[in-house]
A and B are shown apart, each in its own frame.
Chain A
Amino acid sequence: MPRYLSLVQIDEKNAPAEGPSPELMQRMGELLEEITKAGVMLDTAGLTPTAQGTRVHWEGGKISVTDGPFTESKEVVGGYALMQCKDMAEAVEWTKRFLKVHEEHWTVTCEVREIMEG
């Protein structure tokens, strides 16, 4: 069964300032329990803001290091979920459920990518 990485992308500048509501956290906890109980979730986590991140870049044979925040990017990776699913359709279905626990004022994109195996 292939593995899929769902990259959770958010716009840091326009994310709700108050953060996730207790209700969202509650629904998210229930959903994550469900996905884990289904034997699908291998690993998942949120990431700290890019203000605490660092980019390390290789170009022209030189390393450069830039501290966050990465204001030039519209969307940044805010979290990930690694799932083992029968197929892409199943990974997308779980991802839809992940998005649906958010309130309407959230804008979140999940990019679901199959992991190259072997």
Chain B
Amino acid sequence: MTPQPTMDPHPDPNPDARPDPNPDARPDPNPGPNPDTDLETVFRIESPRVIAGVARIVKDVGIAEELAQDALVAALERWPRDGVPDNPGAWLMATAKHRAIDLVRRRERYARKLAEVGRDLEAAGPYLDQPSDPDDIDDDLLRLVFTACHPVLNAEARIALTLRLLGGLTTAEIARAFLAPEPTIAQRIVRAKRTLATKNVAFEVPYGPDREARLDSVLEVIYLIFNEGYAATAGDDLLRPALCEDALRLARVLAQLMPKEPEVHGLAALLELQASRAATRTGPSGAPVLLRDQDRRRWNRLLIARGFTALGRATAAAHGAPGPYALQAAIAACHAQAYAYEETDWPRIATLYGLLAARAPSPVVELNRAVAVSMAEGPAPALEIVDALAAEPALRDYHLLPSVRGDLLHRLGRTEEARAEFVRAAGLARNERERALLLARAEEGD
């Protein structure tokens, strides 16, 4: 590509005659008009890998993040002067690793325990400038995922740390996504990193029986992030799409890192399929649009296709019964396959919910099964399932229970009872948009 003369602020009549001041960092032949923006972008792309690579050396994600930031500062000083290196990611990684090794060596003088690590690094020294082996990067990233999602942390801390270290989100972005004050999120992240350090959480991917339990936590964190974006629990907007996209990206990354784990593909499939409907879930005014009223022509066919591919991988990797995420993905796939609400294969969905209820019993799953049964067999048998859930303490404040019950009563012609349920549901809904929809349904019951 020939650089446009207008793009180059300092045209050099004979660039070949100029000695290269820094052969390690050859200037970009076509520096963009704004190198700062480039650096910020490059750093955002590379930071999870740099943090992961450095954390393996220093064994502390907090220090690893600081060292990655140091590398960014070094780049901010060097790149505007010397040009952006050909492989900026490798440059950042090498710089951060050099600093990590310096740190470990300094510690080594004081801590005998670390002497062995230092010697290993000494031996590895000359190769550090080489681009890292992609397989090593994969392993490091996996270690980072498992560490950020460690059960020693509470769910909120895991979510914040995962978005920060792996999603590349700033503290301000996380705070905005969760409608929390920035200092609260910053505190949460600091405490999480401190907890990992003080509890001596190993920077590793667990194997054996530990692995499944820990993987559950990893998948749950990504699922919770997606859900927060998909059905915002509080606030004025029903959707915070950016959070869904971050979770989707994390699921895609994980599916590439752990191709043999069926549930990782199951989760990726579920999120791709759910995301395919995002554009149609709210109307022009921001009000929610129910599944039956969504314009299916606007569902994203590419995401649906990706969802089906991921579901196929989940099925292929599973030896035996599908897991809860794959089952949920299979349900989402049923919806995606129907070009009209009336064409939905409700008996199959009811069956899948039955399998899901057996595999991962929960009152919410049971409530969803009731909806599917009402579509497959009619409102009466569904009402029986819902009424059996009435005493369920977990659903006491869950607005969807009276909402579903109201819908079933409405279909059975018990209009007055239906209206009372919609009013009750509206009282429980924490999201303004949903509350408005439920109140509207109570009105139309007349």
Contacts and interface: CB of A to CB of B under 8 A. Distances in A.
A84 interface: yes
A1 B256 contact: no
Interface string B232-251: 00000000011001101111
B249 A1 contact: yes
B250 A99 contact: no
A108 B249 contact: no
The interface residues of chain B, by DSSP majority, are classed as helix
A18 to B, nearest CB: 20
Given A89-B38, A90-B45, A117-B279, A42 B306 contact: yes
Contacts of A1: 241-242, 245-246, 249
A15 to B, nearest CB: 14
A90 B302 contact: no
Contacts of A87: 41
Contacts of A45: none
A82 interface: yes
Given A33-B134, A42-B302, A99-B1, A93 B245 contact: no
A108 B242 contact: no
A83 B253 CA distance: 14
A38 B45 contact: yes
Contacts of B37: 89
B45 A39 contact: no
A55 interface: no
A89 B43 CA distance: 12
Contacts of B251: 39
B252 interface: yes
Interface residues of A, number: 27
A107 B1 CA distance: 6
B306 A84 contact: no
B306 A39 contact: no
Nearest to A40: B249
B44 interface: yes
Contact of B41 (A89, A107, A108, A109): A89
Contact of A39 (B42, B86, B249): B249
B279 A118 contact: yes
Contacts of A99: 1
Contacts of B168: 86
A37 B139 CA distance: 13
A30 to B, nearest CB: 7
A82 B302 contact: yes
B42 A93 contact: yes
Contact of B86 (A84, A94, A100): A100
A71 interface: no
Contacts of B248: 39, 84
B221 to A, nearest CB: 15
Contact of B1 (A30, A38, A43, A108): A108
Contacts of A34: 134
B250 A39 contact: yes
A81 to B, nearest CB: 13
Contacts of B256: 36-37, 39
A43 B304 CA distance: 13
B155 interface: no
Interface string B138-164: 100000000000000000000000000
A94 B37 CA distance: 14
Interface in A48-102: 82, 84, 86-87, 89-90, 92-94, 99-100
Contacts of A118: 279
B253 A39 contact: yes
B299 to A, nearest CB: 13
Interface of A: 1, 30, 33-34, 36-40, 42-43, 82, 84, 86-87, 89-90, 92-94, 99-100, 107-109, 117-118
16 contacts: A1-B241, A1-B242, A1-B246, A33-B134, A37-B138, A37-B253, A37-B256, A82-B302, A84-B245, A84-B249, A89-B37, A89-B40, A92-B32, A92-B41, A93-B38, A109-B1
Given A38-B45, A39-B248, A39-B253, 17 more contacts: A1-B242, A1-B245, A30-B134, A37-B138, A37-B253, A37-B256, A37-B257, A39-B250, A39-B256, A84-B249, A86-B44, A87-B41, A89-B40, A90-B44, A90-B45, A93-B38, A93-B45
